[in-house]
Amino acid sequence: MSRQLSYAKGADQPPILEHTIGEALAMAAARWPQAEALVSRHQDVRWTWAELLQKADDLAAGLLALGLEPGDRVGVWAPNCAEWTLTQFATARVGLIQVNINPAYRASELEYTLNKVGVKALVCAERFKTSDYVAMVEALAPEIARAAPGSLEAARAPQLRSAIVIGEAPRPGWFGFEEVAQRGGAAERVRAAEIARGLDRNQPINIQFTSGTTGLPKGATLSHRNILNNGYFTGLAMGLHEGDRLCIPVPLYHCFGMVMGNLACCVHGATMVYPEAGFDPLATLATVEAERCTALYGVPTMFIAELEHPEFEHFDLRSLRTGTMAGSPCPIEVMKKVIERMHMKDVGIAYGMTETSPVSMQTSIDDRIERRVSTIGRVQPHLEVKVVDADGEIAPAGTPGEFCTRGYSVMLGYWDDPEKTAEAVDAEGWMHTGDLATLDAQGYGNIVGRIKDMIIRGGENVYPREIEEFLFRHPKVEDVQVVGVPDEKYGEEICAWVKLRAGEACEAEEIVGFCKRQIAHYKVPRYVRFVEAFPMTVTGKIQKFEIRQAMIAELGLKEMATA
């Protein structure tokens, strides 16, 4: 009898959706015109599907009036808000490619993003938390103060022409968000309809930056077909249906928010509910109660914060039924508490990556609870997965190896980076994730580690080399190595081992302060240690696993049981 291999193929039913995101929105508006499509509680916004379609078409016509053409890139740099989602659907209606920009990015990261993919128009919030977006844009492109709106020519962002600000009085050189929708006339509306009819579901519609497994962030390019279907199938697996109300505290710039959240709601007739601009456990609990939400999303740290909030017991969460925990390894005990204390009897786990739209494995509401809390589920419909050994051969069932996936969800490629695309997606179409996984005889998977040393902190992918390269700029630093260490709240935290230049003295606070001013908060090391040398092999290769183990021992940390 032949041995069972680590390979699984998803069901071929229900069929793949073969329309664009813009068509999906029009279908939702036709089917559920007066049902609530979007509730942004912190903005006091409530739109029906008919209203969302109308507003999206108004904005789409306005974007065309600015001179944008199908295929042009439109950046969105904002926390969760109604305008973010409006831009998502408006760009999709006329074939503009939305570029998701992390709200935590600082000026250097913004500059890299704009120029890497050639962003022509940027929609941004005025500010959020400690980020003054308008000030950072004006520092990057000081020419804006002297430019007519839509005619920007900036030396450091040469392809950027239009800057659009949400929620602020117009500034020199800027468009106001509401103003853009008003600029579209009859001619633009006719053209928008013509463009919509000619769009191909396989065309790129979204670029999401990911640190991936090597070097600087890369722009994973996704099509209508990629992400619309992933929203559809993730919604099916968790039992999302017409009339559900999905609380979305996860960020929209991630696939978790915009695909599993917004697009899943669009195709299943559920309501998108945003509690706050950024995650706040109290606002999330209050929103679930007030809006009678039936489903809730979150990375493990979010659910932990909600469960441990001192006012948790004051909220009635009995409306909840289902939801998804994803984004980083999911502690088994947390899953059990979510089921018992938050009444989410159908909650499950999803696994994937930006490059696969994102989900490839997911638990089902039909799975036994033991499976739902201790595995990442089984392969989604119309996808294949396998676990391969170091030689690229399919490993025996239950044997760890690299997790690979193939099918409709695999990205078109990294924007303008064929070499990195070829490294990630092989000639047979398999996406190599860099994750170590097992696949049992029944097709249930588990992630057991990572081949490369990427850190996942609170659902954010952090590549150590990025931080190391940045810290090399510090005048006192001779060498630096960054690793992830276990953390009960965030899954992992950032640790930097720093070797100083001869004769230099430095405190950990100085290294942290240097980072805080210039890189995203989730990349700032929590632990800094000054060392004379790094553990190395005979051939001079630094052994990061030894750094990690040394820190675990020093700090008294422990690995967490995860699904």
Q: Cα separation of 513 and 35, whole Å?
A: 48
Q: Is 370 contained in some domain? A: no
Q: Is the pLDDT of residue 432 over 50?
A: yes
Residue 544: closest CA among 436, 476, 464, 434: 464
Q: Is 89 contained in some domain? A: yes
Q: Is the pLDDT of residue 226 over 60?
A: yes
Indicate the DSSP class of residue 200: -
Residue where a domain stops, chosen among 171, 200, 229: 200
Q: Cα separation of 23 and 21, whole Å?
A: 5
Q: Is the pLDDT of residue 346 over 90?
A: yes
CB-neighbour burial class of residue 224 (10 A; exposed 0-12, middle 13-18, buried 19+)? buried
How high is the mean pLDDT of the chain? 93
Name the pLDDT band for 464 (thresholds 50, 70, 90): confident
Q: Is 473 contained in some domain? A: yes
Name the pLDDT band for 312 (thresholds 50, 70, 90): very high
Name the pLDDT band for 240 (thresholds 50, 70, 90): very high
Side chain identity at residue 199, one-letter code: L
- Per-residue pLDDT tens over the stretch 511-551: 999 999 799 999 999 999 999 988 875 434 577 888 999 99
Q: Cα separation of 355 and 425, whole Å?
A: 10
Question: In the predicted model, what is the mean pLDDT of residues 440-445?
Answer: 96
Q: Is 116 contained in some domain? A: yes
Q: Is 270 contained in some domain? A: no
pLDDT of residue 409: 98
- DSSP 3-state assignment of 164? strand
pLDDT of residue 273: 99
Q: Is 70 contained in some domain? A: yes
Residue where a domain stops, chosen among 141, 176, 200: 200
Question: In the predicted model, what is the mean pLDDT of residues 458-479?
Answer: 85
Helix and strand numbers (H, E) in the chain are 18, 27
pLDDT of residue 450: 67
Residue where a domain stops, chosen among 200, 216, 241: 200
Q: Is 286 contained in some domain? A: no
- The secondary structure of 490-506 as a DSSP string is TEEEEEEEEEEPTT---
Express as a percent the part of the chain with pLDDT over 70: 96
Question: In the predicted model, what is the mean pLDDT of residues 451-459?
Answer: 81
Q: Cα separation of 75 and 96, whole Å?
A: 10
Residue 486 belongs to a domain with what CATH number? 3.30.300.30
pLDDT of residue 212: 42
- Per-residue pLDDT tens over the stretch 349-377: 999 999 999 999 999 999 998 899 889 99
The number of residues in the chain equals: 563
Q: Is 38 contained in some domain? A: yes
Q: Is the pLDDT of residue 453 over 90?
A: no
Q: Cα separation of 174 and 91, whole Å?
A: 19
Say how many domains are in the chain.
2
Q: Is the pLDDT of residue 28 over 70?
A: yes
Residue 104 belongs to a domain with what CATH number? 3.40.50.980
Q: Is the pLDDT of residue 1 over 50?
A: no
Q: How many CB atoms lie within 10 A of CB 560?
A: 17
Question: In the predicted model, what is the mean pLDDT of residues 397-421?
Answer: 96
- Per-residue pLDDT tens over the stretch 178-211: 999 999 999 999 999 999 999 999 999 999 998 6
Q: Is the pLDDT of residue 214 over 50?
A: no
Model pTM score:
0.86
- DSSP 3-state assignment of 180? helix
pLDDT of residue 541: 56
pLDDT of residue 560: 56
Question: In the predicted model, what is the mean pLDDT of residues 146-175?
Answer: 94
Q: Which domain holds residue 44?
A: 21-200
Question: In the predicted model, what is the mean pLDDT of residues 145-153?
Answer: 97
